[in-house]
Amino acid sequence: MTLPPDEGYSYDLYTAAAFRGHGLASAARIPALRHARDHGCRRVFSAVLPENLPGWRTPAAIGFRAIGWIG
């Protein structure tokens, strides 16, 4: 997927099972998004497997919204 210079792609965020449910994924992703914004990125895309229901929580909680499917 080719993106313009002012767009980013966030992927492979993983939280070990023992640490899930403590807000660590949001705590890690929010500073990364701020860093991207501060360096000219105006939009960030992310991909989550459809069957990964817990994996949808963090992106939704920090403002990502579903816009389509990659296939």
Looking at the domain assignment, is residue 51 inside a domain? no
pLDDT at 42: 95
As for how many domains the chain has, the answer is 1
Looking at the domain assignment, is residue 66 inside a domain? no
pLDDT at 21: 84
Residue 11 belongs to domain spanning: 1-43
Calculate the alpha carbon distances from 19 to 25, 33, 42, 55, 67 in Å.
Answer: 9, 21, 30, 14, 29
Looking at the domain assignment, is residue 16 inside a domain? yes
Looking at the domain assignment, is residue 54 inside a domain? no
* pLDDT average, residue stretch 3-15: 88
Looking at the domain assignment, is residue 52 inside a domain? no
Global pTM reads: 0.73
pLDDT at 28: 84
Looking at the domain assignment, is residue 37 inside a domain? yes
Q: What is the pLDDT of residues 13-60, one digit of tens each?
A: 788 889 888 888 888 888 989 999 999 999 999 888 888 888 888 888
Calculate the alpha carbon distances from 25 to 10, 36, 42, 46, 58 in Å.
Answer: 12, 17, 21, 13, 7
